[in-house]
Amino acid sequence: MRFVWAVFRREIKSYFVSPLCYTAIAAFLGIMGVLYYALLMGYERTRLRAAMNPLAEMPGVENIVRGMLGSDIMWAFLIIVPLLSMRMLAWERQQHTAELLLTAPMTTWHLVLGKFFGAVFVLITMLALAVWMPFVVVYWGSADPAPLLSGILGVLLYGALMLAIALLASSLTESTIQAGFLTLLFMAVVYVVGILVPRVPLVGENLEQFTPGGNLSLLARGVVDTQPLVYFLSMTALLLFLTSQIVDSQRWR
Amino acid sequence: MTSTSTSASAGGGSASPVPPGRPRQSMIEIDQLHKFYGPFEALKGISFTVRSGEVVGFLGPNGAGKSTTMKIMTGLMPPTRGSVSIAGHDVLDEPLEVRRAIGYLPEIPPLYPEMTVRDYLSFAAELRGVPRARRRRAVDLALERCGLTHMAQRLVGNLSKGYRQRTGLAQAVIHEPRVLILDEPTVGLDPTQVIEIRGIVRELGEERTVILSSHVLPEVQATCHRVVIINRGLVVADGPMDELLSRESHGGVVASLRRPPEELDPLRQLTAVRQVQRLGEQEFRFFLEPGDDVRERFVAGLANSGYGLIEVRAETATLEEVFRDVVLEEVPA
């Protein structure tokens, strides 16, 4: 475990002196800000319309929270996760520090976990910087805080899964640029599948629970079910395991 | 220099020195090592052994298979056939034990430019499993050994090439490894830096087993006790430095004469001379009879000969000549 800790600590130190990391954080906050603005304006319009119609019910602010922490945040990840993937395994290989890590007396699993948790830490930092937006809405809109809390958990798990995809992609190449594009490609496939699956006749609804997006919206509803938890954790673990197998197999080539 | 390093390591107390009086066991055993890259056979059955405490130079022209062999030794790459064991552990069966025993400096030092030298070495120590309580002292010792103490707070990315190489070297010795594997430690450095790095390597070699690869010959001649020369994936020479040098030695004496005779015959008549070669207008190579005091008698005779002796020196082969001979000789076509 101390090896994971060592790699993790170095990762964090290195992330927070790199322009790439700040670019990713800035991009994330920018997208979230625009999203927040758009959702607020949309809410304002429906509220005004409702105020003019005595029969209509006043809309709640839940949609804003659901939007920010549900389906829309996926698009923000499509930009920042490939950026972060550029500082993962391909980067170590490109600057020849992989030799240091791979000749240390630790297993590849330690290395993969250390790198993964380092990226997750950056993700947590980003979310911490953005979370005030839906929080403000929930607090002054007197809405139920449950969807906010479970939504944050969902975004965290969803982001971690995407970072695991990025780590896998970055283990396949020696160029950081390629790692970024490969991550983008993998994520695009996941997204397209996520969009198409619900449209499959008859079984679409049932298949949706196997997509990351489907599980994310389950959590955004405000209930922490075991199904999405098990789904995200097991998928992430599987990807990390595959990554460490890939890195090990490269040692044997 | 030497005494400071010894006392420093004794004072550091973190070393695990080989107990005195123990017979020298073999630290590196390479047996019939083969490596294919696709259809290309990079190593064609390399075997050699390095005993504890030896400093071995691993020589060969570019592309001979030096880096490949070293990567296999560190477990970065598997052999196609054959076995390598380090400190009694097989690289395939006990990779973690092997990695605990070695310090490795790759051809390109594995440095993080955004870290300070001290942070970097501290990270390397942690990765090598140096316990937290001893880490600071290990870093200080490595800094001192590699002449980096005054650079400790600098960013690695801002260091000159020579200091980067030292940082790489410091990383390789931070955990007091029993076996040090250095891949071309002085490549690309200027002559002063080369001499400094050599000095450091020589000092490090006093306490541990070192194998260093190079295609620069004076490198190996200056630092190593023994040389293993490989070419095109085969070991073409292996032996102690002086043995290898004397084997190839011409054993001649070169003399310059101000007034040489027209013919070589009068020179052949001189005391203790077996054969003479003309090298230039005034320069001759003399091959002497065997014996202990031949050179003394020869020089005395030559000085009294009236040919105007102005310079005389004994010839020993340089490693360069040995290298040229074995490498050219063994190449079939």
Last residue of a domain, one of B246, B262, B282: B246
Question: Which residues in chain A (104-123) have CB-CB distances under 8 A to chain B?
Answer: 104-107
Residue B213 lies in a domain: yes
Question: B67 CA to chain A: closest CA distance, Å?
Answer: 13
Within this chain, do residues B270 and B163 fall inside the same structural domain, yes or no? no
Q: What percent of chain B has pLDDT over 90?
A: 40
Within this chain, do residues B197 and B237 fall inside the same structural domain, yes or no? yes
Q: What percent of chain A has pLDDT over 90?
A: 55
- Give mean pLDDT, residues B135-155: 93
Q: What distance in Å separates the CA atoms of residue B50 and residue B179, rounded to the nearest whole number?
A: 10
What is the phi/psi pair of residue B207, to 5°?
A: -110, -10
Residue B320 lies in a domain: no
Within this chain, do residues B171 and B293 fall inside the same structural domain, yes or no? no
Q: Token match 């880490």: residue?
A: B135
Residue B322 lies in a domain: no
Query: Is A135 at the interface with chain B, CB within 8 A?
Result: no
Cβ contacts (< 8 Å) between B104 and chain A: which residues? 99, 103
Q: Supply the CATH number for residue B268's domain.
A: 3.30.70
Question: Among all residues of chain A, which has the CA nearest to that of B169?
Answer: A100
A243 has pLDDT over 90: yes
- Give mean pLDDT, residues A59-82: 83
Q: What is the CA radius of gyration of chain A?
A: 20
Q: Comparing C-alpha atoms, which of A34, A124, A26 is closest to residue A83?
A: A26
- Inter-chain contact A14–B114, Cβ cutoff 8 Å? yes
As a residue count, chain A comes to: 253
Q: What is the pLDDT of residue B26?
A: 86
Q: What distance in Å separates the CA atoms of residue A28 and residue A35, rounded to the nearest whole number?
A: 11
Query: Is A174 at the interface with chain B, CB within 8 A?
Result: no
Q: What distance in Å separates the CA atoms of residue B254 and residue B277, rounded to the nearest whole number?
A: 9
B135 has pLDDT over 90: yes
In three-state secondary structure terms, B87 is coil
Q: Comparing C-alpha atoms, which of B204, B211, B202, B158 is closest to residue B184?
A: B211
Query: Is A250 at the interface with chain B, CB within 8 A?
Result: no
Q: What distance in Å separates the CA atoms of residue B247 and residue B208, rounded to the nearest whole number?
A: 28
Residue B329 lies in a domain: no
Position B186 confidence tier, pLDDT thresholds 50, 70, 90? confident
As a three-state string, the secondary structure of B43-86 is EEEEEEEEECCCEEEEECCCCCCHHHHHHHHHCCCCCCEEEEEE
Last residue of a domain, one of B199, B225, B246: B246
Q: Which residue has the higher pLDDT, B105 or B266?
A: B105
Q: What is the pLDDT of residue A247?
A: 93
Q: What distance in Å separates the CA atoms of residue B330 and residue B333, rounded to the nearest whole number?
A: 9
Q: Token match 């790459």: residue?
A: B77
Within this chain, do residues B234 and B261 fall inside the same structural domain, yes or no? no
In Å, how far are A84, A118, A123, A157, B167 from A12, measured between CA atoms? 12, 6, 11, 19, 22
Question: B44 CA to chain A: closest CA distance, Å?
Answer: 17
- Give mean pLDDT, residues B182-191: 85
Measured from the Cβ of residue A34, the count of other Cβ atoms closer than 10 Å reads 11
Could you tell me the two tokens for B328? 């050219």
Question: Among all residues of chain A, which has the CA nearest to that of B120?
Answer: A10
CB A100 within 8 A of CB B124: yes
**To probe the interface with B, which of A3, A14, A100 has the most B CB atoms within 10 Å?**
A100
Q: Comparing C-alpha atoms, which of B271, B14, B261 is closest to residue B131?
A: B14
Residue B48 lies in a domain: yes
- Inter-chain contact A97–B111, Cβ cutoff 8 Å? yes
Question: B225 CA to chain A: closest CA distance, Å?
Answer: 26
Residues of chain B in Cβ contact (below 8 Å) with chain A: 74-78, 96-97, 99-100, 102, 104, 106, 108-115, 119, 123-124, 126-129, 171
The count of domains in chain B is 2
Within this chain, do residues B295 and B207 fall inside the same structural domain, yes or no? no
Q: Comparing C-alpha atoms, which of B220, B228, B240, B177 is closest to residue B65?
A: B228
Please work out, in degrees rounded to the nearest 5, the angle formed at the alpha carbon of residue A181 by the alpha carbons of A180 and A185. Answer: 120
Pairing of strands B55-59, B226-231: parallel
Q: What is the CA radius of gyration of chain B?
A: 24
Q: What distance in Å separates the CA atoms of residue A242 and residue A85, rounded to the nearest whole number?
A: 16
Of the CA atoms within 13 Å of residue A8, those in its CB half-sphere come to 15
Nearest to A97 among B102, B112, B129 (CB): B112
0.85 surpassed by complex ipTM = yes
Position B308 confidence tier, pLDDT thresholds 50, 70, 90? confident
Cβ contacts (< 8 Å) between A2 and chain B: which residues? 126
**To probe the interface with A, which of B111, B127, B164, B184 has the most A CB atoms within 10 Å?**
B127
Position B24 confidence tier, pLDDT thresholds 50, 70, 90? low
- Give mean pLDDT, residues A137-144: 83
Within this chain, do residues B289 and B144 fall inside the same structural domain, yes or no? no
CB B149 within 8 A of CB B143: yes
Residue B154 lies in a domain: yes
Cα-Cα-Cα-Cα torsion B108, B112, B115, B120, nearest 10 degrees, comes to: -70
Question: B256 CA to chain A: closest CA distance, Å?
Answer: 53
Within this chain, do residues B176 and B212 fall inside the same structural domain, yes or no? yes
- Inter-chain contact A14–B115, Cβ cutoff 8 Å? yes
- Inter-chain contact B112–A18, Cβ cutoff 8 Å? no
- Inter-chain contact A100–B127, Cβ cutoff 8 Å? yes
Could you tell me the two tokens for B225? 């006790």
Q: What distance in Å separates the CA atoms of residue A183 and residue A163, rounded to the nearest whole number?
A: 9
Q: Comparing C-alpha atoms, which of B31, B97, B66, B87 is closest to residue B182?
A: B66
In three-state secondary structure terms, B225 is coil
Q: In this predicted structure, which of A18-32, A139-153, B11-25 has the lowest mean pLDDT?
A: B11-25
Largest CA distance in chain B: 78
In three-state secondary structure terms, B332 is coil
Within this chain, do residues B204 and B256 fall inside the same structural domain, yes or no? no
Within this chain, do residues B89 and B144 fall inside the same structural domain, yes or no? yes
Nearest to B114 among A17, A99, A107 (CB): A17
Residue B330 lies in a domain: no
Question: Among all residues of chain A, which has the CA nearest to that of B73?
Answer: A103
Last residue of a domain, one of B246, B265, B283: B246
Within this chain, do residues B123 and B181 fall inside the same structural domain, yes or no? yes
Q: In this predicted structure, which of A56-60, A78-82, B235-239, B293-297 has the lowest mean pLDDT?
A: A56-60
- Inter-chain contact B96–A100, Cβ cutoff 8 Å? no
Within this chain, do residues B169 and B204 fall inside the same structural domain, yes or no? yes
Cβ contacts (< 8 Å) between A107 and chain B: which residues? 96
Q: What is the pLDDT of residue A234?
A: 96
**Average pLDDT for chain B:** 83
Domain that holds residue B292: 250-315
Nearest to B76 among A6, A14, A99 (CB): A99
Residue B77 lies in a domain: yes
A147 has pLDDT over 80: yes
Q: Comparing C-alpha atoms, which of B46, B91, B41, B55 is closest to residue B211?
A: B55
- Give mean pLDDT, residues B178-190: 88
Cβ contacts (< 8 Å) between A252 and chain B: which residues? 77-78
- Name the most confidently modeled range: B60-74, B133-147, B208-222, B223-237: B133-147
B153 has pLDDT over 80: yes
Position A251 confidence tier, pLDDT thresholds 50, 70, 90? confident
Q: Supply the CATH number for residue B55's domain.
A: 3.40.50.300
Q: Token match 């090990």: residue?
A: A248
Within this chain, do residues B113 and B135 fall inside the same structural domain, yes or no? yes
